[in-house]
Amino acid sequence: MTVASTRLVEVRRNVMKKNDLLARALRERMQAAGVFVVSLVSSPGAGKTTFLERTLTELGRTHRVAALVGDLATDNDRDRLARSGAPVRQITTGTLCHLEAEMIENALEGWDLHALDFLFIENVGNLVCPASWDLGEEQRIVLLSVTEGEDKPLKYPTIFNTADVAVITKIDLAQACEFDRVSAEANMHAARPGLPIFDVSAKTGQGMSVWLEWLTAPRPGST
């Protein structure tokens, strides 16, 4: 008779290892092809699609732009974004509340990356789940609309902490919503000190030129 023996084996492996490796490979591929990849995260209804549609339209006049858009069930956002004239592909996640690096890799199949300057990835509207998944993006943009309340960065610190840039959307409604810009900024900086913040209205165009200037600014290592 053999007696089962239990042994403790050290592992020390990041739970996200597989996704992180895929994301790293994607990032290297994008850099080699000269594509600047920007992902957008926010709660549902913060204005990601409207903001992205305007960005694609305006940036598309001078650069080669494309977008991937994640959604639980519909193609609506793809159709909206496609009005900009940019190539857009939908990633329908089913019940999944976030995008993963593997989905990005699959969605890119057949696309000539060398024919692109910018690729935007619109994540599923959610301020919790997308935080853990690196998508191989160069910059992660978190959007906060003035209608949401200034304390969102305190309620969802992880997503703000993992973001590289914040965009305050619907700024044209700030006054009507009694939006407290100072407290919003303080809360964002509590989650991520030094986080650059852009104020925009995709409806009126306010702040769009500053945002586009930042996007197209020469960066070290870029050609």
Query: Binding residues for other proteins, per CB under 8 A?
Result: 4-19, 96-98, 100, 128-129, 131-132, 157-159, 161-162
CB closer to other proteins, 26 vs 159: 159
Asked if 43 and 125 count as a contact pair (C-beta separation under 8 A), the reply is yes
Which residue carries 């960005």 as its tokens?
55
Question: What does the alpha-carbon distance between residue 18 and residue 59 come to, in Å, rounded to a whole number?
Answer: 33
CB of 129 to other proteins, least distance (A): 4
Which one, 7 or 61, has the nearer CB to other proteins? 7
Smallest distance from the beta carbon of 119 to other proteins, in angstroms? 23
Q: Which is nearer to other proteins, 20 or 180 (CB)?
A: 20
Other beta carbons within 10 angstroms of residue 122's beta carbon come to 27
The answer to whether 215 touches 59, Cβ cutoff 8 Å, is: yes
Q: How far is the CB of 143 from other proteins (least distance, A)?
A: 17
Residue closest to 140 by CA, chosen among 156, 126, 159: 159
CB of 106 to other proteins, least distance (A): 16
Q: Are strands 197-199 and 88-92 parallel, antiparallel or unpaired?
A: unpaired
CA neighbor of 52 nearest in space, from 196, 167, 179: 167
Q: Which CB, 21 or 25, lies closer to other proteins?
A: 21
CB of 160 to other proteins, least distance (A): 11
**In this complex, which beta carbon is closest to other proteins, that of residue 10 or of residue 112?**
10
Please name which of 58, 83, 78, 54 lies closest in space to residue 68, comparing C-alpha atoms: 78
